[in-house]
Every structure is written in C-alpha cells, then in structure tokens.
Structure 1
Amino acid sequence: MIIFRYLTREILITMSAVAGVLLLVIMGSRFIRYFTNAAEGDIPASILGTLMLYHLPGFLELILPLAFFLGILLAYGQLYLNSEITVLVACGISPNRLLQVTMLPTLLVTVLVASCSLWLTSSGARHNEILLEEQQSRLDFSSLAPGRFQEFGDGRTAYIEGLNDKQTRMQEVFISERQRREDDTPQTVVTRARSGYQTVDKETGSRFLVLAEGERYSVEPGLAQAERLEFDTYAVRLSRATEMSELDDAEYATTAELIASDDPEAQAQLQWRISLPLMVPILTLLALPLSKVNPRQGRFAKLLPAIFLHISYLSLLLAALDAIGRGALSATIGMWPIHLGYLVLGWWLARRSQLGGMR
C-alpha cells in the first residue's frame, strides 16, 4: 500500500506540473485572442472569464492524456535513475504488478477525460457559441470603447465620447451608415446627438438606439447638396427580434444525439469523443516500457521519441476524424484499427522490456 501511494503520488504530481504548464500556454494564447477582440470592441470584456471557463474542458481533454503520458515517463524515469525500480524488483514487485499499480491513476485520468470529451466540452462549446451570437446580434454598451470609431453591424460605424456612471447612456454620439434612397441610389447618412440610450420594444422585441438632441444629415460624396434634419428624439433600429440560429454542427451535439445519428460527421465526432479517454490506458501501456532508461543516458533520453509517438497517434486519429466526416472512410472501420495498432505496439514494447529485465 505504501508503494502504491508513493508511485501514484509521483505520477500525479508530475502530471499536474506538465498539465499546468501546457494549460497555461494554450489558455494564454486563446485569452490573448479574445482580449484582442474585446479591445477592438467586438465582444465585451465582461464575458472573457466566462468564455475561458467554458473552453477549459476542451483544453483538458487534449492536455490530460499527454500530461499523464509524460508524467509516467518522467516519474518512472527518475525512479530508474535512482535505482528505486531495482529495489522494488528485489522486493518482489514484478512488471505486471507495476502495471496494476499504475492502472488506478490511469482509471482516474480516463474518467476525467471521458467526462470532458463525452459531456463537458460539447456543452461548453455550445454555450460559448450562443453567448458570442447573442453579442453579435445586439449592441452592448460594454463593448463600445469611448473615443474610438467602431463598427456594430449593418454597415454602421459609431463613435461615442463617453458613458455615464451606470453605463446606460451614451454621451456625444456620432453614427455613420450607408442606406439606399427610394430610387435605390446609395447615400451616406450621418447622425449626431448629444446623448443616446438603448431600449427594446416589448411588443415586437426589436432593439432601438434612441438619440436625443441632434441632427441627421443625408449626404453623398461629390455632390454639393445635403439633407439636414434636426430632432429632439430619434430612434434607430439596431436589430429585429430573431430566433437564435440552430447549432447543427456535430461539435455542439450531445453524445446521445451523436449515437442516434447516422450522419458521417456525427459518427466521426462520436468516435473522436470515445477515442480520447481510450487513449489514456493505451498510452499507459506505451509509457511503462519507454520510461526504462539507463542511468548514463539520463531521464530525458526517451522523452523526445515518446512525444513523437504521441503526436503520431493523435495525428492519425485526427486524419481518421476528417476521413470519416467526408465519407472517405467507413465509420464501421473508423478509428479502431489505430487504437489496436498502438495497443499491439504497447504490448510488444512491454513484452520486450520484461524479457530484457526491469533492471
């Protein structure tokens, strides 16, 4: 029991360190992308945390198998360098027993990856897509930066000098938009107002921008004439009430919906979701013999070949995902030969390691 706790702790600590570094890099890259969009006014900064949170399962389902694979390699590699594996063998710990001990943390990681791939990732992706679509379908004051010209749909460009303390009313508003006259000729309409606020018609559900104390000009570059309209209150319709578009992509479907569907893309996505947790025990079988290193070589001697092995495994699965989705590969065959091939490779490496001795 003491040996089991010791080995499990070494694997999980190393895996957590690797996963933390990888997660920081990947989430940092995605956060920078969203932060750039927020700085440009495409999305409000207030939803950045929510977007990143719902992206987390999608990151973890890819990071955890690799982190666990490297965790076994580094943890057991250190045990070989310190001759601790030699001591364990002398105490009667066989290769099969070592594999059994490793299988409990393997089961834990498999359950975590399965929870992400079969449930949390699709739910989070769907939530983010709906959230972004809602932001694109309406003008949100939190996404408008005072002192900047920003586009907000339908060819409109807006500029505001500032917002009040409650972020509910705009001050010194400028709006430029392209419209067409009754004879279908284009014109540029420029509207300036002292203030403005948003409102929604309860009957129709349409969203309006209500401007107060301003002028509206209809001009056409190159012509020496313009139409001018002064107003106390003027409402600009920003969007009509529309239903949220259906998210039919297999990426957003639940696992139950994928099982019930015969569509090639749905079958490809289903096999991909099953493949991610299935990778974990197969990678464990591969990692055990690869972690055996000579003290003169160092613990990182087999790390690079092992990483290339993982990359090849994942690349073949991605290629199969694309082929099944396009109908070029039968879903009946699917990704299973790839898993079988690497399972046989892991069994062969483990058998070869046992014949050569754990020491």
Structure 2
Amino acid sequence: MILDRYILRLWLGPFMGGLILVMGVLLLGRALKLLGTVSDSGQAWALIAELLVLTMPYFLLLTVPMAFFLSMQNTISALQQNSEMDALRASGISYTRIFRSFFGLVIALWLALTYTSMVLLPQGQLGFNNILTKIYAMKGVITFSPQRFTQGFDGVTVYVDGEDEQGTYHGVILEDHRDGVSVIYTAESARFVMIGNYLELKMQRGVRLEGQADDQRMLTFDDYVVSIPVSDGNWQKRVSSEHVTMMTVVELWQAMNKSGKADAVAEWNRRILLPTTVLVLFFFALPLSITQKRSGKAGSLIAGIALLVVIYNVQLMLHRQVSQGAFPGWTMWASQIAMMWLGIFSWKRAEQGHMPKVFSRVGDWLYWLHQAIQHRVAHRWEKKS
C-alpha cells in the first residue's frame, strides 16, 4: 500500500497540471471563437461561460486520456532516472505490481468517461445548439456555425465548411426535404440573406440532386436561389432526435436499428470507443517509457505524443468513413482492438524483459534526435555569445 500511494502521488501532480493546462487552452480557444457570435448580446460573458460548460464533456473525452497517459509516462521516467525502478526490480517486484494502483485507476476513468460519452456529451450538444438558437433569435439574423449541421428550419438542413471575412460561406451542403422528397444542393460558396420573413440562400457554382437511384436527376448551376419561409424570424427549440450527435442513448440505439443510417452507426460506435482510448494508452505507457532511458523524459514524451497523434487520427479517419457509408461500423472496433492487443503484447514483453526491436530502435532514434537538437541549440548560443 505504501508503494501504491507513493506511485499515485508521483502521478497525480502532473496529471492535474496537464489536464488543467490543456483544458484551459481548449476552452480559451473556444471562448475566442464564440466571442464573435455573442458579442452583440448584453449577456455575452454569461452566455460564453454557459456554452463553455456545455462543451466540457467533449473536451474531457479528449484530454483525460492524454493527461493520464503522459503523466503515467512521466511517473515511469522519473522512477527510471532516479534508479528507483532498478531497485524495485532488483527486489523481485514486477512491473505489474509496481503499477498495480494504475489498474484500478484506469478502470474508474474508463467508466467515468463512458458515462460522459453516453449521457453528458449529447446533453451538452443539445444545450449548446439551443443556446446558439436563442442568440441568433436575439440578434435577429441567422448564421451558421462552420462544420456543424444546422437544422433550425422545418425540413431543411444546412452544412457549411467555413466562412470568410465578407460573410460568404464556402463548402455548402443544403438538404431540402420539405415536400417529402430529398433535394440536395452542393455549392462552392453561398450568401444567406434575410428578406422579410424569408431566408434566401444565394448559391454559386454547384450541383442540385433530386431523387434516388435510377430516378436521380442532376443539375449543375452557376447561380441558384432557395427561399425558406421563416414565419416570425425565430428558430424553434431543438430536440435531441434532430441529429445523431444530440440523441440520447435510447434514441440513438433505435435510430441505428430502425434506419441503419451510416451516421447513426458511426456515432454509436464513437461514443463507446472514445472512452476505451484510456485503456489502450494505459498499456502503451510502460513499454514506451522503459525503452527511452538514454533519452530521458524527452524521448518518452516524444514517443507518447507520436502515439497520441496516430491513435486520434485513425479514430477520426475511420469515423468519417463510417459516417459516409464508405466503411462498415466494425472497422472502428477492429482498429481499437488491434491497438489494444499491441499494447497488451508490448506490456507483457516489457514484463519479461524482451521488448520488440522496433521499440529499442525508436528509442535510439529519439535519443539521437534529442542530442542533435541540444547540440544545435548550444552551437547557436555559442555563436551569439
């Protein structure tokens, strides 16, 4: 128990510091982005604070696994650099026993993150979108958040990739299913203008698709205008069933089983798999840290960051492919299971003292890179002085 408490004390400080730092940076970036949206409101800062609280579940799903993994690496590296690890191993204590306390901790984090992903995340998405709806209504204009599906109109869904300084949207997708037939518009750019009780979508250089399969008709255009009646200038309050990212667990399960839509399948798998990232990273912490003794904490940190980049980019790529129907949903599981198996295998090899050669080679390469950077920095300082 004394060893467990000592290990946890070494881990807790870097974990809390890293979590607060990364969360602070993410929240600051989001606050600056929201400031332009709510700056016209008399309650701007109160609205920003509320919006930031609602985005925290998503940020926690990203930052907690990172902070846990990097702080665990820091703990292992500290034990190695101070030769405490060598003393413990010489006493016949296994790595699994040394880091026994982390096993219970990672299970607790996984359960907490699963609750966050399945319950708090969709609640936050719904609340976030409803507050933005109120803001747009108070401003008397309608705007669209980049890279978000806007469904504030009856029968119309709008997606924009970005907006320039002149207020022109780029990468626009519009789905109009007011008449019971889905009509999809894609345009390079568009401007959305309120004229009385109508919103006019003036699109440039795009394609209009109507119908399905053999009955589908396509029309290319240079300019096209779609008018949408907005009776009182206000958007209706959004409900969770409007989009998969806002659906409750029950609603999402029903949508996935009844319609089998690709976006519902992708969202269901994403919510389950995101929390398991902390389990995957846990098993990689030991093998990536004990092979970096020559390069110290810097080598371990570089290797850890590289792994984080790989894991999160693979997850993002597969989620996009599944949501577009290009890949089946099980591919998201296959990737996560493969990474988990590799992590467990590497931990077992580390326990036996037989790490794969690729880990030692990565360690040597990081050591060389670390030394080269230090040498170059020192050489430049000598020239300046």
Residue 264 of structure 2 corresponds to which residue in structure 1? 266
Q: Which of 314, 334, 351 does residue 354 from structure 1 map onto?
A: 351
| SS of equivalent residue, structure 2 residue 298 | coil
**TM-score, L = length of structure 2:** 0.64
Contact map agreement 1:313 1:338 (CA 8 A) in 2: no
For 2:319 and 2:35, how far apart are their aligned partners in 1?
A: 31
For 2:333 and 2:309, how far apart are their aligned partners in 1?
A: 17
* Residue 246 of structure 1: how far off its partner (Å): 4.4
Kindly tell me: are residues 352 and 54 of structure 1, through their superposed partners in 2, closer, same or farther at Cα, counting changes over 3 Å? same
* Residue 357 of structure 1: how far off its partner (Å): 6.9
Residue 256 of structure 1 corresponds to which residue in structure 2? 250
Residue 119 of structure 2 corresponds to which residue in structure 1? 119
Residue deviations 1:31-80, cap 9 Å, x none? Answer: 11122333355984431111111111111111001111101111111111
* Residue 261 of structure 1: how far off its partner (Å): 2.1
Kindly tell me: are residues 23 and 112 of structure 1, through their superposed partners in 2, closer, same or farther at Cα, counting changes over 3 Å? same
* Residue 255 of structure 1: how far off its partner (Å): 2.0
* Residue 274 of structure 1: how far off its partner (Å): 0.9
For 2:354 and 2:87, how far apart are their aligned partners in 1?
A: 13
Kindly tell me: are residues 37 and 84 of structure 1, through their superposed partners in 2, closer, same or farther at Cα, counting changes over 3 Å? same
Kindly tell me: are residues 42 and 258 of structure 1, through their superposed partners in 2, closer, same or farther at Cα, counting changes over 3 Å? farther
Code of the residue aligned with 1:22 in structure 2: it is: V
Contact map agreement 1:77 1:293 (CA 8 A) in 2: no
What value does the CA root-mean-square deviation take over the aligned residues?
2.8
Contact map agreement 2:3 2:98 (CA 8 A) in 1: no
Higher relative contact order (CA 8 A, sep 6+): 1
For 2:124 and 2:310, how far apart are their aligned partners in 1?
A: 28
Residue 232 of structure 2 corresponds to which residue in structure 1? 239
For 2:254 and 2:56, how far apart are their aligned partners in 1?
A: 27
Contact map agreement 1:138 1:239 (CA 8 A) in 2: no
- For 1:182-221, list aligned pairs within 5 A: none
- For 1:131-210, list aligned pairs within 5 A: 131-139=131-139, 152-153=140-141
Code of the residue aligned with 1:352 in structure 2: it is: R
Q: Which of 276, 279, 282 does residue 281 from structure 1 map onto?
A: 279
Q: Which of 312, 315, 327 does residue 314 from structure 1 map onto?
A: 312
For 2:234 and 2:96, how far apart are their aligned partners in 1?
A: 64
For 2:3 and 2:98, how far apart are their aligned partners in 1?
A: 10
Instruction: Structure 2: state its 5+ residue gaps.
Output: 143-193, 198-230, 356-385
Of the two, which has the highest radius of gyration?
A: 1
Code of the residue aligned with 1:303 in structure 2: it is: L
Per mean C-alpha deviation after superposition, the further-off stretch among 90-99 and 40-49 is 40-49
**TM-score, L = length of structure 1:** 0.68
For 1:340 and 1:66, how far apart are their aligned partners in 2?
A: 19
Q: Which of 330, 333, 336 does residue 333 from structure 2 map onto?
A: 336
Equivalent residues, number: 268
For 2:39 and 2:138, how far apart are their aligned partners in 1?
A: 17
Query: Aligned residues: percent identity?
Result: 24
Q: Which of 292, 299, 315 does residue 301 from structure 1 map onto?
A: 299
Residue deviations 1:239-271, cap 9 Å, x none? Answer: 367642445111111122222222221111111
